Amino acid sequence: MRTLFLIYIFLYANHGYCQDQLFKQYGGWGRIKKEAAATDKKIFLYFGATWCSPCNYLKKNIFTDPSVIRAMKKEFVSCSFDIDREPALPFLKKYRITAVPLFLIFDHEGRLLNRTEEIDPTVAGFLAQVDTSRMTPRKYKGISERLDMRWPAFYDDYFNGHMKVLPDSMVVARYLSTQHDLTSEVNWDILSLFNVGDEYFLYTIANKQKFIDRYGIEADFKLLDMYRRMAQKYIDSKDSVGYNRITFQLLQPNETADKATWRAYYMRLLKFLGNTGMDWDRFLALADTLRRKFGQDDNETIVQYAFLSKLNVKVNKILLEMMDTVLQSRPYPRNYFMYSILQLKTGEKEKAQEYLDKTILSCTTKEDKKEYQSIFTNCSQSASHPF
């Protein structure tokens, strides 16, 4: 027992030693910048959480790798933050960090050079990702070096409360209505995080290039996030007018738009129709137009938009035909599952169970298996007749 205990202590200490080799103990932003300036290095800040599986994988397999430690020590002063602990809070607020894992790279004066939210889980990939981020800094003209910004109370409360409760949209809208410059850093933080209605979404779309010029390509991604939040609101309320308005403003489909724009426009309209089940004739007509113009590659997504809705016999038959094609080239768990649910809706319970079994067998995690089984059970019990 004593021998096992000593081995455990050795391994634990060695693991900690490797971590300490890469990440310095955070002693304040000023101290980190001063050290980076003195050593002519950039600053690397990593954000993770103990409950985050990808974060734990990176901590165990990437940040302890000797080649990663050597390369990082050469170029950076590095610190690691748990987003549930106090030291991370100023950075969470400043850089709107709401998901992990994530890393930020700065120059020694604290100017943001790069933000990476999808970290490669391989040693070679991670090192390439960091090197590219270091060598090709992005433009963030609108982001200052200050951490102590003057955010409104609801913004501070959101982060102080560990991002569990979103502020009331009316409170956010009232605040923004008093602001003269909605493109300022603080107001961009608010616009990009919270759902504040059509008026402000349409404003950001109309001023898209100004936001991109100030906040880099991240602004483009955030505008898409804003759209998704607004779109889901309209799907939930079955408001086709509002949904079509923001979708048209986002994509601007017209005679000069390219094929990719029109394809995206059709797909977004199909998502609304499939999720709400409001007009299956239009859904099928639009799906047919999309497939004739762009081929069969979107069959999987078209089915995904509709398979959990209340279908009629005609729609269910066509979706099954689409899935027959999809399964020939992409026999993945989700596709097996969609096929299973569609069979269940036709009353083919044995075939539905057969494809649920294939779904479960091809899943890689217990969580996925449990989720698929739960949805299948709910669908089985939801009605005595599928249509």
Q: How open is the CA angle 253-257-261, to the nearest 5 degrees?
A: 65
Q: What confidence category does residue 136 fall into, taking pLDDT thresholds of 50, 70 and 90?
A: confident
What per-residue string of b and e applies to 327-356 under the rule 16 or more CB within 10 Å gives b?
Answer: beeeeebbbbbbbbbbbbbbebeeebeebb
Per-residue pLDDT of 207-229, as tens digits, reads 988 999 999 888 888 888 889 98
Beta-bridge partners for 106? 43, 112
- What are the sequence ranges of the domains in the chain? 2-135, 150-231
pLDDT recorded at residue 20:
62
Per-residue pLDDT of 330-385, as tens digits, reads 999 999 999 999 999 999 999 999 999 999 999 988 889 999 999 999 998 874 44
The Cα–Cα gap between 298 and 323 comes to: 11
The Cα–Cα gap between 205 and 368 comes to: 36
Per-residue pLDDT of 95-135, as tens digits, reads 999 999 999 999 999 999 999 999 999 999 999 999 998 88
Please report where in the chains the tokens 């910004």 appear, as a residue. Answer: 149
Q: Which of 79-83, 322-326, 364-368, 373-377 has the lowest mean pLDDT?
A: 364-368
Tell me the mean pLDDT in the region 291-297: 93
The Cα–Cα gap between 324 and 51 comes to: 39
Q: What confidence category does residue 21 fall into, taking pLDDT thresholds of 50, 70 and 90?
A: confident
Check: CB of residue 234 under 8 Å from CB of residue 243: yes
Q: Is the predicted pLDDT of residue 230 greater than 60, yes or no?
A: yes
pLDDT recorded at residue 139:
79
pLDDT recorded at residue 22:
93
Amino acid, res. 365: T
pLDDT recorded at residue 6:
44
Q: Is the predicted pLDDT of residue 15 greater than 80, yes or no?
A: no
Check: CB of residue 147 under 8 Å from CB of residue 106: no
The Cα–Cα gap between 16 and 70 comes to: 16
Check: CB of residue 115 under 8 Å from CB of residue 102: yes
Check: CB of residue 107 under 8 Å from CB of residue 42: yes
Compute the chain's Rg from CA coordinates: 25
pLDDT recorded at residue 5:
42
Q: Does domain 2-135 have CATH number 3.40.30.10?
A: yes
Check: CB of residue 242 under 8 Å from CB of residue 202: no
Nearest partner of 289 among 321, 306, 266, 322, judged by Cα = 266
pLDDT recorded at residue 251:
92
pLDDT recorded at residue 97:
96
Question: What does the longest C-alpha to C-alpha distance in the chain come to?
Answer: 77
Q: What confidence category does residue 17 fall into, taking pLDDT thresholds of 50, 70 and 90?
A: very low
Check: CB of residue 305 under 8 Å from CB of residue 270: yes
Higher pLDDT residue, 20 or 190? 190
pLDDT recorded at residue 385:
43
The Cα–Cα gap between 155 and 93 comes to: 8
Give the pairing type, strands 112-116 and 102-106.
antiparallel
Q: Token digits for 37?
A: 């300036």
